[in-house]
Structure 1
Amino acid sequence: MTLWRGEVPLVLASQSRARRTLLENAGLACVAEPADIDERAMQTESGLVAPYELALHLAKAKALAVSATKPGAHVVGADQTLALGDRLFNKPAGRDEAHRQLLALAGRTHALHSAIAVARDSEVVFSHVAVAWMSMRPLSETDISAYLDEAGAAVATSVGAYQLEGLGVHLFDRIDGDHFTILGLPLLPLLAFFRDAQLLAM
């Protein structure tokens, strides 16, 4: 059962299980087709420093890359940047870098910028950026080590070394923002676009 009414299946240009689950839980069956792009190289080449601009640039790049191989399909690209003031964070390369990121974020409020872009036939037809403010509680070295021990390899799969839908929730004492934005897919504006385009059954 799907609410999708497009002529061809909806495509998600991401390997993120969380993003795919958000779409499927909203009744939108989709095909996952991760974009084959070098995000860090594109970040460097773009010269962009504003986190919302960078997130949007990468979301569009992912959607366009997959759209070129999926004629007629609506392709959803998404990207998320984490900024602490002017400092941008990427996914940690391993435990040591995850530890350093958590030390920098502990006791402070950072911004998650989540961007989405929809491309069809190699043209971006919709884009949006949302932000959530994440206040991490003060953390001791012991707290961080205990968290890293429990979270294991998962810390290297998300920027900031946490997944809020998992053990990462223990790191925070306040969150201001949309749940979907935090998980990396601002769902409400995306659904509104699909409804306006008469692509949904409701």
Structure 2
Amino acid sequence: MTLVLASGSRVRADLLHNAGLTFDIDPAQVDERAVEAPLLEAGFCPEDLATVLAEAKAQDVSERRPDDLVIGADQILAYEGERYTKPENMEVARRQLIEFSGKTHELLSAVVIAKNGETVWRHLSVARLTIRSFGPEFVGRYLAAVGDVALTSVGAYQLESRGIQLFEKIEGDYFTILGLPLLPLLEELRNQKVIDR
């Protein structure tokens, strides 16, 4: 049995690698917006959306690799009852950051393990982040400095790099913020006897 990460995320792969895990990378082929659309129409909350998307990714790869243990993950930013995805362009990133200025939002990170095309474990972690107050001029300078990297994550920031300058307060697990609740995942991998207890 091989451990598989159903994601092309460099950050998630680095987290697993740095934890000493041996695994394959096999990104899921899932149209996230197509999976989300009926759920949004049905009024699913952001927490459920994150979990369903993580499950869809894990199951997609697990169906191709039935004997392996597949990790799927997803992250959604929730603010005032709305869900946000990665900004489509720099103008969307700019508007989001101005909107979040001086306010608190949540990052919802779901992780799922699938085997034989079925979910065998799921977990959702929540972090609350308060962005400090700033004006449009600061946002312009920030986006100019980070460039297109702002478009690679929800919220248009990477907490592990220059994005940390946006924040006033953070409540929650660092790994949840990076998009992979690592501590509960490692505990489950110990329970599954994939890593030593």
Q: TM-score range by the shorter chain?
A: over 0.9
Alignment deviations for residues 98-142 of structure 1 (CA, whole Å, 9 cap, x no partner): 001101111100000000000001010000000000000011111
Q: Does 1:145 align with 2:140?
A: yes
Secondary structure of 1:44's partner?
Answer: helix
Tell me, yes or no, if structure 1 residue 36 matches structure 2 residue 29: yes
* Contact kept in structure 2, 1:48 and 1:54, CA below 8 Å: no
Deviations 1:25-59 (A, max 9, x none): 11112111111111111111223431110000000
For the pair 1:72 / 2:67, whether they are aligned, the reply is yes
Question: Gaps (5+ residues) in structure 1?
Answer: 1-7
Q: Is residue 2:86 matched to residue 1:91? A: yes
Matched, 1:186 2:181: yes
Q: Identity of counterpart residues, as a percentage? A: 45
What TM-score comes out, normalization by structure 1 length? 0.94
Does 2:156 match 1:161?
yes
> 2:20 corresponds to which residue?
27
* Distance of 1:19 and 1:111 partners within structure 2: 19
SS at match of 1:131: strand
Deviation at 1:85, TM superposition (A): 1.6
RMSD value, Cα? 0.9
- The aligned residue for residue 5 of structure 1 is none
Amino acid at match of 1:180: F
Deviation at 1:198, TM superposition (A): 1.5
Matched residue count: 195
SS for the counterpart of 2:64 is coil
Paired amino acid for 2:7: S
Question: Is the partner of 1:15 in helix, strand or coil?
Answer: coil
1:123 paired with 2:118, answer yes
Runs ≥4 residues deviating over 4 A? none
Kept after mapping to 2: 8 A contact 1:68/1:122: yes
What CA distance in whole angstroms lies between the structure 2 residues aligned with 1:76 and 1:39?
A: 16
Unaligned runs of 5+ in 2: none
